[in-house]
Amino acid sequence: MFRRLETAGRVETVTVSVGGKPVTLPRGETAAAALVAAGEAVGRTTPVTGAPRGPYCMMGVCFDCLVMIDGAPNRQACMIEIREGMRIDRQDGARRLGG
Amino acid sequence: MSAQWDLAVIGAGPAGMTAAMTAARLGLKVGLLDEQPRPGGQIYRNPAQPTPEVLEALGEDYAHGMKLIERFRAADIDYRPGATVWDVTADGEIAFLRDGVAGEIRARHVLLATGAIERPVPVPGWTLPGAMTVGAAQILLKTGGYVPDHPAVLVGGGPLLYLVAWQYLKAGAQIGAILETVPRSNLWSALPHAPGMLRQGRLLAKGRRWLRDLRAARVRRIRGVTDVRIEGDGAAEAVSFQARGRRQTIQTPLVLLHEGVIPNTHVSLALGLEHGWNDVQQWWQPRLDEWGRADKTGFSVAGDGAGIWGAEAAEHLGLLAAHGAAMALGGDSLDQTGVAEARTALNAAAGARAFLDRFYRPARSQRVPAADDTIACRCEEVTAGQVRHAARLGALGLTQAKAYTRCGMGPCQGRLCAPTVSALIAETRGLDDADVPAYRPRPPFKPVTLGALAAPAFRAKAG
């Protein structure tokens, strides 16, 4: 859905995995941006009907970008900054306890 | 022992940053809690590594924000980024999460500068991946330089819609179309306020420049759009709509929605501060005195969280609210010139705001779903029809409708569905919007894990 503007300057990067796929993007971006950079429109499916959802508001209001981060469920991808080696995975249906 | 501040500011947008800097200058011990990792709020959302290409696309207002951020960083403020506030008590105790660990701070006065959220746009298909808000797309542009890779379709109304279209143009991204849903009859209610708008020459020139550049680039603008539907199987594939008496469809994987912004009142409503209904902006706002102080002692609100005034006015409101807090705390040092300047600027801004609010007042159909099967509550997937049914059974507001349908019971806690659900209840029960009580959020304002709450105790034990 999106592409990144080319930049002439040097940018520090971080590599994360999105659904097991490595994605490299500038340090300081969010896990939701990592989904976008990976071309993943869907971050979760809903607990009620299993409908696919992706980031909607990008500012912490809608909770539609909930994903699993490093195995922990229900993380707001748009509010979490990426770290080297972070694992971002789809959250399907209701979250599991003790994850 | 938890820290003690004279003034706690919540939110590091233009209002919060200015309030904190002003209060520090007035001699208060000031702390600021903000959920973002860097200051600026959503309006000046601030990339960790700004590139010249992105700054160029964003324009001069954003450059002004960068300067404000620099001044804020240099001020004597206990600034705590990455802090999610999840409770504020009536006596000024603030509970927050930082790096997954719970923390607490006590303040003699609390100033909420929680800004605005985008008004929900509950049209059929708005939950499909690929349908997002114009503001969300702009955040991706600000923080990472992301632009649509296919021609996106922008739907709705309001200054932000044209600003983002213009920023995309400058960044070399294609725009499929701008579908304008604002009723043309709005002009008649806005017209009496035109003189106030005309006096804001700089603002007017900016808007004219955006529209001129969009015209020069032959961006397709379709006016009088109604009955918008986002279509697709598992993701947005097209947007269809009614215009000039016929149904039209545009293929696109990215539909960006915007019907203006409303105050983010989640915390001010939870605190039980007195609110009033703003019928032009179509949402609640806290009732404040001329210094931004609420009806409950020890609390103030500044910026868009107090009613939509925009980023420039937010700085003035922040300055006034800092003075209000300082006076409430017994201070007597006043920046007379600063206060006078802020009041003059706000009077001028109010004139333009009165025009803009009326001119871009959203069409009812973009705010209240006509079809019963359209989703009103995204979290719990409650439809407009289910809310109407609950209203017929006797639900007086979101709080009751929640018990009947689970709407507002998901992780967003009603932040996003409350405007839609309240409007549906008003419509079904034949009431004015102001007669449907505002929802009453409860702490925790954001989900907190037991692990985060227990972490400080475990650390103390281990230490």
Instruction: Determine the residue of chain B that is closest to A4 in CA distance.
Output: B146
pLDDT over 70 at B191, yes or no:
yes
In the structure, what pLDDT confidence band is assigned to residue B460 with cuts at 50, 70 and 90?
confident
**Interface ipTM above 0.90:** yes
Helix (H) or strand (E) holding B316: helix B311-328
B137 close to B130: Cβ distance less than 8 angstroms: no
For the cut 60, the answer to whether the pLDDT of residue B248 exceeds it is: yes
Interchain contact A94–B (C-beta under 8 A): no
pLDDT-derived band at B240, boundaries 50, 70, 90: very high
CB-based contacts of B200: which residues, under 8 Å, 6+ apart?
B348, B349, B351, B352
Question: How many angstroms separate the CA atoms of B288 and B321, rounded?
Answer: 10
Q: Which CATH number applies to B368-431?
A: 1.10.10.1100
- pLDDT score of B453: 87
Strands B299-301 and B101-112: parallel
DSSP state of A41: -
Averaged over B294-303, what is the pLDDT?
98
pLDDT category at B1 given cuts 50, 70, 90 is very low
The partner residues of B110 in beta bridges, in order of sequence, read B8, B299
Tell me what percent of the residues of chain B surpass a pLDDT of 90. Answer: 88
Q: Which of B140, B234, B380 shows the shortest C-beta gap to A2? A: B140
Per-residue model confidence as pLDDT tens digits over A54-87:
999 999 999 999 999 999 999 999 999 999 999 9
Closest CA of chain A from B150, distance in Å: 7
Check residue A7 and give its pLDDT: 82
Contact B143 A28 (CB under 8 A): yes
Q: Do A63 and B410 touch (CB under 8 A)?
A: yes
What's the pLDDT score for residue B241?
A: 98
Q: A13-91 adopts what CATH topology?
A: Ubiquitin-like (UB roll) (3.10.20)
Residue-averaged pLDDT of chain A: 93
A92 at B interface, C-beta within 8 A = no
What is the pLDDT confidence band of residue A99, given thresholds at 50, 70 and 90? very low
A-B contacts at Cβ under 8 angstroms: 146
Q: To which CATH superfamily is domain B3-117+262-334 assigned?
A: FAD/NAD(P)-binding domain (3.50.50.60)
How far apart, in Å, do the first and last CA atoms of chain A sit? 31
Question: Which pLDDT band, with edges at 50, 70 and 90, does B118 fall under?
Answer: very high
- B129 has a pLDDT exceeding 50: yes
| Banded model confidence at residue B375, pLDDT cuts 50, 70, 90 | very high
pLDDT digits (tens, 9 = 90+) for B21-51: 999 999 999 999 999 999 999 999 988 888 8
Residues 33-52 of A with CB under 8 A from B: 33, 36-37, 41-42, 46, 48-49, 51-52
Is 50 exceeded by the pLDDT of residue A23?
yes
What residue ranges in B138-254 does DSSP mark as E strands? 146-148, 152-157, 175-180, 221-222, 226-231, 238-243, 246-251
Q: Mean pLDDT throughout B193-215? A: 93
CA quadruple B291, B292, B295, B296: dihedral positive or negative? negative
- Token duo for residue B313: 């006015």
Percent of chain A residues past pLDDT 90, beyond the cut: 86
Q: What angle do CA B301, B304, B310 make, to 5 degrees?
A: 140
**Strand B30-33 to B3-10 pairing:** parallel
Q: What is the mean pLDDT of residues B255-269?
A: 98
What 3-state DSSP class applies to B195? Answer: helix
CA distance B194 to B214: 23
Q: Which residues of B touch A4 (CB under 8 A)?
A: 144-147
Average pLDDT over residues B295-300: 98
Query: Which chain B residues are closer than 8 Å to A64 by Cβ?
Result: 127, 378
End-to-end CA gap in chain B? 15
Mean of the pLDDT values across residues B344-360? 94
Paired tokens of B223: 């006016």
d(CA B46, CA B32): 17
Where in chain A are the domains? Answer: 13-91
Cβ(B46)–Cβ(B19) below 8 Å: no
pLDDT of residue B251: 98
Q: Which chain A residues are within 8 Å of B450, Cβ to Cβ?
A: none
**CATH number of this structure's domain B123-259:** 3.50.50.60
Q: What is the pLDDT of residue B237?
A: 98
| Residues B49, B25 contacting (CB under 8 angstroms) | no
CA B347/CA B196 separation, integer angstroms: 10
Domain residue spans in chain B? Answer: 3-117+262-334, 123-259, 368-431
Q: What percent of chain B has pLDDT over 70?
A: 99
Check if the beta carbon of residue B74 is closer than 8 Å to that of residue A30.
Answer: no
Nearest to B32 by CA among B82, B67, B66, B71: B82
Average pLDDT value over all residues in chain B:
95
Could you tell me where the DSSP H helices lie in B46-200?
52-58, 60-74, 134-144, 159-170, 186-190, 194-198
Residues 72-91 of A with CB under 8 A from B: 74, 78-79, 81
Query: Which residues have C-beta within 8 Å of that of residue B192, sequence separation ≥ 6?
Result: none
User: What is the arithmetic mean of pLDDT over B225-252?
Assistant: 97
Tell me the residue length of chain A: 99
Q: Which residue has the higher pLDDT, A19 or B53?
A: A19
pLDDT tier at B2, thresholds 50, 70, 90 = low
- pLDDT mean over B295-322: 97
CA distance B302 to B358: 22
Max alpha carbon distance in chain A (Å)?
A: 46
pLDDT of A9 > 90? The answer is: no
The three-state secondary structure class of A65 is: coil
Do residues A38 and A23 lie in contact, with contact meaning Cβ atoms separated by under 8 Å?
yes
Mutate to test the interface with A, among B46, B139, B267, B448 (most CBs of A within 10 A): B139
How confident is the model over B429-457, as pLDDT tens digits? 999 999 999 999 999 999 888 888 888 87
In the structure, what pLDDT confidence band is assigned to residue A8 with cuts at 50, 70 and 90? Answer: confident
Tell the burial category of B205 from Cβ atoms under 10 Å away from its Cβ (0-12, 13-18, 19+): exposed
Interface check for B374 against chain A (CB to CB < 8 A): the answer is no
Residue A98 pLDDT > 80: no
Q: Is the fold of B123-259 the same as that of B368-431?
A: no
Burial (CB count within 10 angstroms: exposed 0-12, middle 13-18, buried 19+), residue B430:
exposed
B261-263/B116-118 β-pairing: antiparallel
